[in-house]
Structure 1
Amino acid sequence: MKKITLSAVAVLSLAGTFTAGLSADEGFSLLSNAKFNGEVRPRYENVEVENSAKNDANAFTVRATIGVEANLLGIDGLSGKVDGTTVQAIGGQHYFDGTYNGMTGYETVVDPEQTRFSQAYLQYKLGKTVAKAGRQVINLDNQRFIGSVDWRQMMQSFDAAVISDSTIDNLTLTGAYVWGRAGVTNAPTANTDSIILNGSYKVSDMLKVTAYDYMISSASDTVGISLTGNVPVSVAKIAYRAEYASQGDASRDTDDAHKDVKADADYYNLDALANINGILAGAGYELLSGHTTGDGKTAFYAPLGTLHAFNGWADKFLASTPTGGLADMSATLGYTAAGFGKAMVVYHDFETDVAMSGKSDLGSEWDLLYTNAVPGVKGLNGLAKAAFFKAGDVAGYSVDVRKIWLQLDYKF
């Protein structure tokens, strides 16, 4: 690593000082029961775009995180957590990081060099109610709408106050007020004034019902419901998801640069994955509705979600949903077993919801994945992954893209 990071030094210094020295004879302690966590994740990412005037991106980067969590002030249920994370390029930057590094002659890999506190929050537990305030990771459901974007080297964090309660058996309620968002780049923290509501009730292993309302300031309100579960069928177990969401005008209008924001779009998701003695086979259909000029509609979009996990790993639809929307039909085949790890192939066929200039073909994509624990080293995992996007005929989606990743991930 090129340098010792301020975050790591601060976390270690605070933890070492407080846990060693701040206890009184009468039993008072500022910090107690400190638990450390850390991660080192080196990665190689290659990006090639067909007929591009730019050089291929070759990004050698490493993410390093170190953190501490401890009880505070001797008060039952009160604790705090701090994580410091740094992202550094190894051997120089041979990629455009999407922000300010000036390497515009290369293809883009959105992993700029940066260092920050990725989490820093206070937490209070009372029974089965948990309250957190400060910078934190928030992952809800499958992270389609609210997620930490952990695939990128710097995760997405939220400055928020969150309350979660599971006092009633099988019922979990979560509410959050978000005033800031630190994204995956080194751009300044974005101010927001958003409210997140999510509730789920587990009827049985075969059915969990989740309802949500995500009021994203000066963007949209997204209200939806999902049904998920695992259904045993003979020698197979089938995991399924059925979901619908409606996106409407933003009820919270706090960004002076974006007033009276309108939204009118729909979201559908149906998918199932069967596990037959380790053999994985599945299919899915996801629709993000679009619009035509003058119809009063908008394209469905989820700005706070972990979008890399959806609609192909080449990230062709990451920045925004096509104006005409996106219909994604997918098929999955793979194998998983103890010791072997997981191997998976996913195929996507992309089309618009509404034709764009008379065209609807947004292309197709093959995604490949193999991941496994590295034998003999506790906490170390390896991953090889690739995405091959085949162009369609809609403008903006008419060139082939190939991406390849090799990664190690050590957590302690």
Structure 2
Amino acid sequence: MKKLLPLIVLLICLVGNEAMAQFTVSAEVRPRSEFRNGFKTLTDDSKDPVFFTEQRSRLYLDYLSDDFKFKLAFQDIRMWGESPQIYKRESGNTFISEAWGQYFISPSFSVKAGRQIISYDNERFLGGLEWAQQGRRHDALLFIYDSQESKSQLHFGLAYNQDADTSEPGFIQGDGAGFYSVGGNYKTMQYGWYHKDFESTSFSILALNAGYQNADSTVSNKQTFGFIPSTTLGSLKLAGDFYYQTGSFGGRDVNAFLAGINATIQTSVTPLTFGVEYISGDDDPSNDQIKAFSPDFGTNHAFNGFMDYFYVGPANGAVGVNDLYLKTSWKLGKGSLKAHAHHFLTGSTQIDEMGTELSKSMGTEIDLVYGINLKGGVTWNIGYSQMFATDTMESLREGDKTHLQNWAWTMITFKPTLFSSSK
């Protein structure tokens, strides 16, 4: 962190010489302790529960002028105790989280380039994944149109990824110079996003193409199309998200979808949200088509239960999921308590080892989270979740459904502003 001090001092001096610029230095320290005993998948008596503390530390540098703005965010992620108390060097945990600049061609039109968060709507398909200590970032170029008069936004983004396992001359010419070998990442990405606000209704449209490197040096292109509407009718709010995936992935055609809808009713005591989300699975994974939908770049922890049984870590294979849920929250003391209940069913027909069709019911999850704002902008959260699994979940995930399956955590977040110039 000492290496950053000269940069910070230099930026403060530059801002001091530019009356119309604003410079802000802020920070974040966020340790989270977790007790895992059936988190992400079922456990049994042969496995011990685990307890650990993981911490995220960040330093944010934000610069804003009339013509452009940029952001640098430095990040360190570590487990408590992984570094010796006395050491001279360690493996690299500190890296750049964000580094981007945005130039305003006009008040409504700008170009943004660099390592950045790409997040839209409810983050179902494109999100910053900020629950995870490391977050999710893209190296991309964006063209942004934002009109406050028409209450509309239009974004186009694109990316082309290359890794550094080829020596520098290989980028000029040579066999395999363009082969991309970073697992899980797209090689190319292009998307368009449009959002429109009306008096009590809004909607967004998303179209995204992701190209993935195949082992034979070809590229498979998978397309995802989304429609995300919401409307308010008095004390009732309706929202939904509908996605369809096509194209190809790994040499197989894709034909999958996600459909979700929820209704929030404002009562005199607490809001109640009733919802259902269906994510398609594949009845026969051996066929030529992929029918299991994948929310590739979303903040998936926010959906389908906080215990992360689906699309966080384990991708859920070809099972799919049908999530019936009830969510509410109410004030409790100086804070608030959130309570979520999910009942999960498979999104496809599943067969056990004996050739018998499994029941669609996989289990019920209860999530409780208490949050409170402390003095100075410090926030504290504590959560508890429990999974009540069925025979189907045990058959799909192994483990022991009769064993206690729970997860508990607590997290405190400090986010001070260290310096801010006046614009």
TM-score, L = length of structure 2:
0.78
1:170 aligns with 2:144: no
- 2:230 aligned to which of 224, 228, 231: 228
CA distance in 1, matches of 2:390, 2:184: 36
Give the counterpart letter for 2:239 in structure 1: R
Q: Which residue of 2 aligns with 1:161?
A: 141
Q: Which residue of 2 aligns with 1:194?
A: 189
1:298 aligns with 2:291: yes
User: Compared with structure 1, are the counterparts of its residues 410 and 333 closer, same or farther at alpha carbon in structure 2 (3 Å cutoff)?
Assistant: same
Which stretch shows the higher mean deviation, 349-358 or 211-220?
Answer: 211-220
Matches within 5 A, 1:131-142: 131-142=111-122
Give the counterpart letter for 2:369 in structure 1: L
Residues 212-234 of structure 1: CA distance to partner in whole angstroms, max 9, x if unpaired?
A: 1121223621112121133323x
Give the 3-state SS of the residue equivalent to 2:391 in structure 1: coil
Give the counterpart letter for 1:300 in structure 2: F
CA distance in 1, matches of 2:14, 2:210: 44
Give 5+ residue unaligned stretches, structure 1.
Answer: 1-7, 94-111, 251-257
CA contact (8 A) 1:83 1:117 kept: yes
1:366 aligns with 2:366: yes
Q: Which residue of 1 aligns with 2:258?
A: 267
Give 5+ residue unaligned stretches, structure 2.
Answer: 84-90, 164-181, 213-220, 352-356, 417-423
- 1:406 aligned to which of 403, 407, 410: 410
1:12 aligns with 2:28: no
**Number of residue pairs aligned between Structure 1 and Structure 2:** 361
User: Compared with structure 1, are the counterparts of its residues 224 and 123 closer, same or farther at alpha carbon in structure 2 (3 Å cutoff)?
Assistant: same
Give the C-alpha shift of residue 137 in structure 1.
1.1
CA distance in 2, matches of 1:261, 1:178: 23
Matches within 5 A, 1:21-60: 32-49=21-38, 50-60=43-53
Residues 229-267 of structure 1: CA distance to partner in whole angstroms, max 9, x if unpaired?
A: 33323xxxx3321222211014xxxxxxx6534210111
Give the 3-state SS of the residue equivalent to 1:355 in structure 2: coil
Give the counterpart letter for 2:47 in structure 1: K
CA distance in 1, matches of 2:185, 2:256: 25
1:284 aligns with 2:284: no
- 1:327 aligned to which of 303, 315, 322: 322
TM-score, L = length of structure 1:
0.80
Q: Which residue of 2 aligns with 1:353?
A: 347
- 2:383 aligned to which of 355, 362, 385: 385
1:119 aligns with 2:90: no
1:213 aligns with 2:213: no
User: Compared with structure 1, are the counterparts of its residues 302 and 9 closer, same or farther at alpha carbon in structure 2 (3 Å cutoff)?
Assistant: farther
Give the C-alpha shift of residue 269 in structure 1.
0.4
- 2:56 aligned to which of 60, 63, 74: 63
Which stretch shows the higher mean deviation, 353-362 or 145-154?
Answer: 353-362
Give the C-alpha shift of residue 334 in structure 1.
2.1
Residues 265-317 of structure 1: CA distance to partner in whole angstroms, max 9, x if unpaired?
A: 11110112223245121111000011222383420111111000000111111
CA contact (8 A) 1:210 1:225 kept: yes
Matches within 5 A, 1:55-134: 55-71=48-64, 76-92=66-82, 114-125=93-104, 126-134=106-114
Question: Which structure shows the bigger proportion of residues in strand conformation?
Answer: 1
CA contact (8 A) 2:259 2:278 kept: yes
Could you say which structure has the greater relative contact order, defined with CA pairs below 8 angstroms and 6 or more residues apart? Answer: 2
Q: Which residue of 1 aligns with 2:244?
A: 246
Give the C-alpha shift of residue 11 in structure 1.
3.9
CA contact (8 A) 2:186 2:210 kept: no
Give the counterpart letter for 2:35 in structure 1: N
Give the C-alpha shift of residue 113 in structure 1.
8.2
CA distance in 1, matches of 2:324, 2:14: 59
Q: Which residue of 2 aligns with 1:396?
A: 396
Which stretch shows the higher mean deviation, 167-176 or 50-59?
Answer: 50-59
Q: Which residue of 2 aligns with 1:97?
A: none
Q: Which residue of 2 aligns with 1:204?
A: 199
Task: Give the number of the structure whose alpha-carbon radius of gyration is greater.
Answer: 2
CA distance in 1, matches of 2:45, 2:211: 37
CA distance in 1, matches of 2:250, 2:288: 20
Residues 32-54 of structure 1: CA distance to partner in whole angstroms, max 9, x if unpaired?
A: 53211211111101101331533
Q: Which residue of 2 aligns with 1:255?
A: none
CA distance in 2, matches of 1:139, 1:304: 9
CA distance in 2, matches of 1:373, 1:351: 36
RMSD (Å), alpha carbons: 2.8
CA distance in 2, matches of 1:231, 1:340: 30
- 1:152 aligned to which of 109, 118, 132: 132
User: Compared with structure 1, are the counterparts of its residues 22 and 314 closer, same or farther at alpha carbon in structure 2 (3 Å cutoff)?
Assistant: closer
User: Compared with structure 1, are the counterparts of its residues 397 and 272 closer, same or farther at alpha carbon in structure 2 (3 Å cutoff)?
Assistant: farther
Give percent identity, aligned residues only: 20
CA contact (8 A) 2:252 2:288 kept: no
CA contact (8 A) 2:281 2:292 kept: yes
Give the 3-state SS of the residue equivalent to 2:254 in structure 1: coil
Give the C-alpha shift of residue 371 in structure 1.
0.8
